[in-house]
Amino acid sequence: MASGRGRSVEAVLLFTAFVASAYGFGVYLFPAMVESIRQEIPFSYGTMGTISGMVQAGFMVCALASGLLTVRFGAIPMILGTIAVCALALGGLAVAPDIYVLATLLVVLGGCAAAIWVPLVQVSQELVPAAHRGKALGLISSGTSYGVFINSILLTSLLPGAGWRALWVATFLLVAVLAIAGFIRLRGLGRREAQPHAGHDEPSIRARWSALPKGLVGAVLFMMFLNGLTCMPYQTYLAAFLESEAGYGAETAAYVWRVIGVAGMIGGFAIGTLADRITLRRGMIVTYLILASASLLVLGASGGEASLLLYAAAMAFGIAFNAIFGLVPAYIGHAFGPGGATLVFALGNIALGVGGIVGNLLGGALRESIGSFEPVYLITLGAAVCAGLLSAMLPSERRFGLEARPAEA
């Protein structure tokens, strides 16, 4: 693999493609074509909800497991093994005979999403200079938006004529090629990753955990819980809110999602670049303000002339959603160092999942009891503001002796 900056750029682009595969194809393609699948493999919406819960549970379990395995075996082997499993699971969906096989493979893909994302904190420390980690992880986190954008192309070009199984075949082939490219370009890097530790006793996972500053760990975990409480219900109930309360049609709701996706494709990298200049902590504050404005704007959008507010809300959410999922792991990497950062990020993804579950359950309960989705977006607004205040109280990453340095040539 090329040395210096070229090696870092190539790795970041591959990791962005891996995230696009695991999240865009593995998590978001199924709900996008669920009605077509139900025509061949009948199942209820209740079953769909159960599958979604199982996928979330698989994500949380694998977030913790991948953190422990990354500390033990290294980040690159973990990522390469996971992208291979992701390709196989996508191929399996193309021939799934019933809902049980389908659900099992979707749970595996949910776990793959966590098992690819968690090790990226450690590998970014090893490959990306400190001065560029914000933009690098911002671009990688935007991979989800690129995957969703590719989904939209596949849905319009393949689904009508070839059927839903053809989409799984197409994604399997694409991810298989990416996996092979990853093995060729990153395999040697995985060997070099282990060399510095040869001949030295590595601290145990318990020792790494004991050495972590518990107050800062708790603050970061609570921030990730708030991220889940803000972002997950915002997405879950957006279409229902727009169509059932705000006076928009299904076509407008679909266009809003396209705006979110396009904004997300550039938002992570743009805010990450800004954060590399003004510090990650300040970048997080800016991002949480944008995320809060997304909730405030969508509450003010009530159809007709208010549509400009709706599209502004969509742009704000798309930018902030991808940016925050790049900035927080970048900050964790600075604050906790190799090994420790992986453990904290693994636990943080569990906190993120819990926040998302709490937000979705609370949102559904409030809709049933009050008859409106507005309280959902008041909750997401409050959670974003709280996360912004919390990030303002965190120490700057420059206090950890990792000031921005020029990139390697």
* Range of lowest pLDDT (184-193, 244-253, 325-334): 184-193
pLDDT (mean) for 265-288: 88
- 274-287 average pLDDT score: 90
Residue 292: other Cβ atoms inside 10 A: 22
Whether the predicted pLDDT of 122 surpasses 70? yes
CA atoms of 18 and 94, how far apart (whole Å): 20
Phi and psi at residue 58, in whole multiples of 5°? -60, -40
Give the pLDDT of residue 401: 56
Q: What is the number of other CB atoms lying within 10 angstroms of the CB of residue 408? A: 14
* 212-240 mean pLDDT: 88
**Where does the pLDDT of residue 32 fall: very low under 50, low under 70, confident under 90, or very high at 90 and above?**
confident
Taking all residues of the chain, what is their mean pLDDT, rounded to a whole number? 83
**pLDDT tens across 61-98, in order?**
888 888 888 877 888 889 999 999 999 999 999 999 99
What is the model's pLDDT at position 250? 65
Calculate what percentage of the chain has a pLDDT beyond 70. Answer: 88
Q: Are 380 and 356 in contact (CB under 8 A)?
A: no
Per-residue model confidence (pLDDT) at position 179: 94
Tell me what pLDDT residue 367 has. Answer: 81
Q: Which of 323, 320, 325, 311 is nearest to 258 (CA)?
A: 311
As a whole number of angstroms, the distance between CA 154 and CA 164 comes to 10
Tokens 């208010």 belong to residue = 306
Q: How confident is the model at residue 189 (pLDDT cuts 50, 70, 90)?
A: low
What's the pLDDT score for residue 220? 93
What sign does the CA torsion over 208, 130, 281, 234 have?
Answer: negative
Q: What is the pLDDT of residue 44?
A: 79
Which band of pLDDT confidence, cut at 50, 70 and 90, is reported for residue 219? very high
Q: How far apart are CA 114 and CA 335, in angstroms?
A: 21
The predicted structure's pLDDT at residue 19? 92
> Can you give the chain as a three-state secondary structure string?
CCCHHHHHHHHHHHHHHHHHHHHHHCCCHHHHCHHHHHHHCCCCHHHHHHHHHHHHHHHHHHHHHHHHHHHHHCHHHHHHHHHHHHHHHHHHHHCCCCHHHHHHHHHHHHHHHHHHHCHHHHHHHHHCCHHHHHHHHHHHHCHHHHHHHHHHHHHHHCHHHHCHHHHHHHHHHHHHHHHHHHHHHHHHHHHHHHHHHCCCCCCCHHHHHHHCCHHHHHHHHHHHHHHHHHHHHHHHCHHHHHHHCCCCCHHHHHHHHHHHHHHHHHHHHHHHHHHHHHCHHHHHHHHHHHHHHHHHHHHHCCCHHHHHHHHHHHHHHHHHHHHHHHHHHHHHHHHHCCCHHHHHHHHHHHHHHHHHHHHHHHHHHHHHHHCCCHHHHHHHHHHHHHHHHHHHHCCCHHHHCCCCCCCCC
**Residue 401 burial (10 A CB sphere; 0-12, 13-18, 19+):** exposed
Burial of 291 (0-12, 13-18, 19+ CB in 10 A): buried
Tokens matching residue 197: 């530790």
Residue 162 binned pLDDT confidence (cut-offs 50, 70, 90): confident
Nearest to 172 by CA among 239, 94, 271, 242: 94
- Tokens, residue 100: 């049980």
pLDDT mean over 251-278? 83
**What local confidence, expressed as pLDDT, does residue 255 receive?**
80
